[in-house]
Chains A and B, each alone.
Chain A
């Protein structure tokens, strides 16, 4: 059974650019949630995808968008990057939209210069 994998592990972008982060969910899981973790803070919920549909969203602007594919892997896209977008982005997968145990990947560290 493979766990949650994220790519890339590190990324450096400049302000105004666009970025795509990728996540492969744990085998058998159909739900993916994305979180932003700023340095020294707890993760903040961005959104969740369940069976390829957005199924909940946190307090993030529309330039944060996502996709979920038929194999339940997912992408997080961020447009018009800002310096404050620098953070660790975590993906978590779970079984079912109401499933309460979320399994996390190691994250993608994004630095915006």
Chain B
């Protein structure tokens, strides 16, 4: 079946540190891959996406590259800010009709000044 595995959190960093959150997936077919972010008390917001192998999604300094050979979609940011503190979810979708998002368990990021 289809599934997403994320690194366990919490991840605690100092401001301006480098961030990596690992995500690997299992899927039948050719999935689209996403990173969503959830700030406290809010719903999920799409951070970035990639729809085919070797695509790089980027937004707000975050990047992730769709690696088919390693079935991975790791999230990176060169210099984190306190405002990046949130829960990050890796997700995939496969197929056309009834396209459900399949999420990982989420990784909590806490950035201190």
Q: Name which of B43-51, B60-68, B73-81 contacts chain A.
A: B43-51
Q: Are B51 and A56 in contact (CB under 8 A)?
A: no
Q: Mark A1-13, 1 if CB is under 8 A from B, else 0.
A: 0001000000000
B13 at the interface (CB under 8 A from A): no
Instruction: Give which listed residue, A42, A97, A107, contacts B103 with CB less than 8 A.
Output: A42
Residues of A within 8 A of B89 (CB): 42-43
Instruction: Give which listed residue, A42, A45, A103, contacts B105 with CB less than 8 A.
Output: A42
Q: Are B104 and A56 in contact (CB under 8 A)?
A: no
Q: Are A43 and B101 in contact (CB under 8 A)?
A: yes
C-alpha spacing A56/B101, complex, angstroms: 11
> How many pairs, one residue from A and one from B, have CB atoms within 8 Å of each other in the complex?
68
Q: Are B100 and A104 in contact (CB under 8 A)?
A: no
B83 at the interface (CB under 8 A from A): no
Q: Are A43 and B49 in contact (CB under 8 A)?
A: no
A106 at the interface (CB under 8 A from B): yes
Q: Shortest beta-carbon distance, B103 to chain A, in Å?
A: 3
Residues of A within 8 A of B105 (CB): 40-42
Q: Are A45 and B41 in contact (CB under 8 A)?
A: no
A42 with B99: in contact, given A90-B43, A100-B32, A100-B49 (CB under 8 Å)?
Answer: no
Q: Are B106 and A58 in contact (CB under 8 A)?
A: no
A98 with B103: in contact, given A43-B44, A104-B45, A106-B43 (CB under 8 Å)?
Answer: no
17 additional A-B residue pairs with CB within 8 Å, beyond A42-B91, A42-B105: A4-B43, A33-B100, A33-B101, A40-B105, A45-B101, A48-B99, A50-B97, A55-B98, A56-B100, A58-B100, A90-B44, A98-B96, A98-B97, A99-B99, A100-B32, A100-B49, A100-B93
- Chain B interface (Cβ < 8 Å from any Cβ of A): 4, 32, 36, 41-46, 49, 51, 89, 91, 93, 95-106
- Chain A interface (Cβ < 8 Å from any Cβ of B): 4, 33, 35, 40-45, 48, 50, 55-58, 90, 92, 97-107
The list of the 7 closest CB pairs from A to B, nearest first, reads A56-B98, A42-B103, A45-B100, A104-B43, A98-B96, A104-B44, A106-B43
